[in-house]
Structure formats: C-alpha cells, structure tokens
Amino acid sequence: MDFTVALAQIKPKLGCVADNCLMVRQAVERGIDEKADLVVFPELALTGYFLKDLVPDVALRLDAPEINALRELSRHISIAVGLVEVSADYRFFNTSLYLEGGEVRHVHRKVYLPTYGLFDEQRYLARGEHFRAFDSRFGRMGLLICEDMWHLSAPYILAMDGATTVICLSSSPGRGLTEDDSLGSTIAWQKLTSTTAMFFNCRVLYCNRVGYEDGVNFWGGSEVVAPSGAVTSRARILEEDFLVAGVDEGALRRERIFSPMMRDESLLITLSELRRIERERGR
Amino acid sequence: MGGLMVNAALLRQVLVGFLREEVHKVGVRKAVLGLSGGIDSALVAFLAAEALGPDNVHAIIMPYRTSNPESEAHARLVAEQLGINHEVIEITPMVDAYFTRFPDADNMRRGNKMARERMTILYDHSAALGALVLGTSNKTELLLGYGTLYGDMASALNPIGDIYKTQVWQLSETMGVPRQIIEKKPSADLWAGQTDEQELGFTYREVDELLYCMIDLRMNRLELLARGFVADFIDTVSGKVQNSHFKRRLPVIAKVSNRTIDRDFRYSRDWGK
C-alpha cells in the first residue's frame, strides 16, 4: 500500500533519556499531525551515541514506562526508534523497535558493533544475533542499525526473508572533508543506501541524526530511497529536519517486474556455497 | 597538494555549527579568546563571531614589551572588522616581575611563561564573563608539539585543531580574514624576529603534505619515501610527533583502583548535554 513516512532527524541529548523521550514524543505528535503513517527515528534516539560508561544508566527494559508510552502512541502512527535495551540477564543492546497498533511488532538488536576509528561499541554493548524480516501494515519489512548496513549479508538476509522495505536507523559521524561537496561519510552512505535499494529491489528508509557530541558531528541527510535506487526525498545536511515523504506501492511493484533479481535469487546455491566456505575456512 | 584542499564552505558550516552547539549546550552564550594578530586566532574569531554573534565574542590582546607592534595592530584590525568586544592587557609587568628572580632564563622559558600568563588571563576572563575559552592551535602545531602545554595549547573548545595550517590559510581566504594577516610569515612572536618556519626548519606547506600522508592516509615509511619525501625529513617530523605526544594527553594517573579516570572510568565530556 502507499504510505507516508516521516524521518525525524533529531538531535538527542547525550545520556538524557527523559529529555529525549519528550523530544521523541513531540516528533511522534508532529508525525500524527502531518498525517504520516510511520515515523522513523535515528539509532539511539532515546540516549545519544557516545555513551561509553553511561550505557547501563540509560538502558531500558522493553516493559519500561517510556516504551509503553510510545507503544500507546503507535495506535495512531507506526514508530521505529532506537534505544539501549537491557535484557533480563543484564546484557545491553543497541536496539531498534518497531511499534505498531499498540504493540512491539519487532525488536532488532544491532549485530555489527563497530570498534574501529572513533567507534567503541563492542566494548560496552552485547551483539545481536538475528536479522529477521517482519510483517507490518505496510508489508514485510526489516530493521537495520547503522553499521549493520555495511555488511551486505544483512540486507540480503532481510530481502530473502521477504522484506520489501529496509528501515535503517543511523548515528553516522561526519568525517573525511575533501574538496567534494559532501563529507566522505555522506558520500559513502548515499552510495550505500542507493546500492542496497538497487541490489534488493527494496525501499530504503534511512534516518540519521544531527548534532555534535564531544566535537563529533552527525551529518543528517536522512532519505527515502525508491526500489530503483533513486532518492525520492532527502533531509537537510547538518541541521535538524523532519522529512515527510510518500512511499509508492506502484514503484515497488514496477521495479520488481522490471528487475526481478530477488525472484531469481537462488537461496539453495547461496546456502550450499556458504556451507562449503565455512567448512573450508575451518581447515 | 590535492588531498589537503577542502571544501571551505562545508568546513565552515561544520565548524560554525560546532562552536554554536558546543558553547550553548554548556549553558553559556559567550566565548573568550586571545587575539595575537596571527592567522589562527583571527580565523577562530571569524568563526566565533559567525557562530555566536559578535556581541558574544570577547577578544583579549596581550602584548609583551618585545612583541612586534604590528601584531597588536593586526589583532585590533580583526576585532574591529568583526565588531567583537576587545581589550588590550599587557603582560609585561607580570612576566618581568617573575623573571627578575631568574634573569638568566632563556628564550624558551620566557616564551612559555608568556604563553601561560596569557592563558591565566583568558581563564580569569572566562569566569568573569561566563564565557568559554576558545583554543587556536591548528593540527600542524598540535602534531608537532609546537605550542606551550597549559599555555596556548589549553582551551575549552578548539574549532581548528583538526585542520592543518595549509587549510587554515584556505579557510581564512574564503572567510574574509584581512589579506595582510594571511600573507605574513607565521610567528609565535615570543621574541624579536622569530618565525615559525625558521625555528622548525621547514615550511608549513611541506610539513602539512608529509603529516597528511603520514597521519591521515597512514602511509608507512617506505610509502612516504616512494612519494618523494626525504628520509631525514620523515624522521625529523616523526620524532617531533612522537616526542610531543605527552602534550596531547591527560596527565598520567597511577592506577590503583578498579575504575581509574579516563582509563576505565569513561564518559564523553558532553555527558548530559
């Protein structure tokens, strides 16, 4: 079905869950006012990014009142939002939730926790173990969190699991200034979202945050990418924004007819070759 | 030179946003900085005026009796062009009072004392004005250790610490820093006739090329040689970067507890902001 998505390109406050929840609720209300069907937030929208030792202090159980409040709001608008989740056995995850119709429809725990360059996630967080597509009122979807998308296997698994929409929640730092019109990280991400959409004939809804933490900037530029790889709508760079855009069912249908790569993809060949590689690597 | 050139408009946007957000999130509106008459502090003044508004930027010009009079004139020129608050505070009485007890002190000691004297004045004004102290050390100086620890290297926020001198020149051109400041020879102006490049033994443009390849592109010695850098130059510069590393780190703390500050008690500075 056709639907309207709002990408809430917010600027969370580092470690201030109450303030960020308020900011998120206000953006949800705005999405409802602007007749959006789905509102997407960045990675770790409820907490900020460079948390380090704050991780245990800002973590929420999935039955926390903050999440219940959003769950209630999801009766009016579907919500994808990022937070730190604490499990019953006290593991802490970089998690994204998909809330719809008053329930938590899907939980994705970030699998690929980067530790290179300025990143240090695996030091503080436990690794998620699944990529799973799920059904929403807009069709089958998958959630990815930032670095997940840099591993081609992640959207591949989602696509093979039937996802036609990939939602990526991101906190991508801006870096790599050259003579180009964009930062290096911006250019790389724009190639990535577009290529992912093209490879898997799926839509990509990419929401990246803005603001600065300890001098690191987050560049924003949230975007809606059509299954052809064409960017249909893009938010401002380096500034807060609230992008409301239509997502067209027809474009997906036509692309899937025009480029039936997902139809032709052989799961069996992939599986047998991956098993062989795993066997041979073990030697 | 290719890799060192940057999109100045984008750089300006990032740095202005940095100053605005990082100052405001602390709960203050103002910044204070030392204006030396040189290009680095001039550029920071330009960025701060754009980020915070000229009324919220306080520049302090702190000459010593042997400072080149042209430096003060250039500092005033910047302040007046931007319409920022400024005042002149001579450091001669305090510095001379100290060195009457140590008349044999060499240029290095005197220069370091002057730099630290200036920073105590900036931090005093930071408290008096409710303003953050802006740093004006660029990436070239920071990497070479060409600055005084707890003197000009101190600050609350530094907008230009990740850009090389060559890039400071480029950004200054596009932001309208006065020509005479861009074109003069860089000098710490700690004693008469001092120029940075003479003291360092190479030019900023040369060393920026090398540092960019070495630090940003992570080329190893063989790759740098293949690029045409002379072995002695590579070794001299590597030595400076390594030997000055202590200046870029917190003081070393003896670890005895389970959670030692910075080592395993780790929080971002912007915690709660």
How many CB pairs lie under 8 A apart between chains A and B?
62
Is A177 a residue whose pLDDT tops 70? yes
Is B37 a residue whose pLDDT tops 90? yes
Asked if residue B199 lies in contact with residue B106, where contact means CB atoms within 8 angstroms, the answer is no
Residue of B nearest to A13 (CA): B273
How many whole angstroms separate alpha carbon B45 and alpha carbon B34?
A: 9
Which of A14, A181, A215 comes nearest B7 by C-beta?
A181
Q: Which residues contact A65 (CB under 8 A, 6 or more apart)?
A: none
Mean pLDDT over residues B59-71, rounded?
Answer: 96
Tokens of A40: 């997407």
How far off is chain B from A29, nearest CA to CA, in Å? 24
The percentage of residues in chain A with a pLDDT greater than 70, rounded to a whole number, is 100
Asked if residue B18 lies in contact with residue B118, where contact means CB atoms within 8 angstroms, the answer is no
CB contact under 8 A, A238 and B270: no
Residue of A nearest to B161 (CA): A215
Which of A14, A179, A181 comes nearest B273 by C-beta?
A14
> What's chain B's average pLDDT?
96
The vertex-A18 CA angle with B15 and B24, nearest 5°, equals: 25
Is B2 a residue whose pLDDT tops 60? no
| Nearest CA-CA partner of A147 in A280, A53, A252, A44 | A44
How many whole angstroms separate alpha carbon A150 and alpha carbon A166?
A: 13
CATH numbers and ranges of domains, chain B: 8-247 (3.40.50.620)
pLDDT tier, A282 (very low <50, low <70, confident <90, very high otherwise): confident
pLDDT at B190: 77
Which of A177, A183, A214 comes nearest B269 by C-beta?
A214
CB contact under 8 A, B268 and A212: no
pLDDT tier, B192 (very low <50, low <70, confident <90, very high otherwise): confident
How many beta carbons lie within 10 A of that of residue A128, not counting itself? 21
- B271 contacts in chain A (CB < 8 Å): 14-15, 54
CB contact under 8 A, A177 and B6: yes
pLDDT at A283: 75
Backbone angles phi, psi at B15, to 5 degrees: -75, -40
Q: Which positions in chain B have a beta carbon within 8 angstroms of at least one beta carbon in chain A?
A: 2-3, 5-7, 10-11, 13-14, 17-18, 21-22, 25, 157, 265-273
Q: Which residue has the tokens 């390109």?
A: A9
How far off is chain B from A166, nearest CA to CA, in Å? 29
User: Residue B41: in which H helix or E strand, if any?
Assistant: helix B39-52
Strand order of the β-sheet with A3-9 is: A103-109, A92-100, A78-86, A38-40, A3-9, A241-247
Mean pLDDT over residues A39-57, rounded?
Answer: 98
CB contact under 8 A, B157 and A177: no
pLDDT at B202: 96
Separation in Å, CA A238 to CA B89, B153, B186: 38, 28, 33
Is B265 a residue whose pLDDT tops 70? yes
> What's the fold here for domain A3-257?
Nitrilase/N-carbamoyl-D-aminoacid amidohydrolase (3.60.110)
> What's chain A's average pLDDT?
97
Asked if residue A41 lies in contact with residue A24, where contact means CB atoms within 8 angstroms, the answer is yes
- B269 contacts in chain A (CB < 8 Å): 214
What are A63-90's pLDDT values in tens digits? 999 999 999 999 999 999 999 999 999 9
Q: How many CA atoms lie within 13 A of B83 on its CB side?
A: 5
SS3 call for B34: strand
Residue of A nearest to B163 (CA): A177
User: Residue B86: in which H helix or E strand, if any?
Assistant: strand B85-88
How many whole angstroms separate alpha carbon B211 and alpha carbon B167?
A: 13
Whether A119 and chain B come into contact, CB under 8 Å, resolves to: no
The percentage of residues in chain B with a pLDDT greater than 90, rounded to a whole number, is 96
How many whole angstroms separate alpha carbon A279 and alpha carbon B12?
A: 52
Q: Please list the residues that pair with A139 across neighbouring strands.
A: A136
Is B1 a residue whose pLDDT tops 50? no
| Nearest CA-CA partner of A131 in A91, A171, A96, A102 | A96
How many whole angstroms separate alpha carbon B34 and alpha carbon B87?
A: 10
What are B134-145's pLDDT values in tens digits? 999 999 999 999
| Nearest CA-CA partner of B33 in B17, B11, B52, B8 | B52
Backbone angles phi, psi at A20, to 5 degrees: -70, -35
Is A14 a residue whose pLDDT tops 70? yes
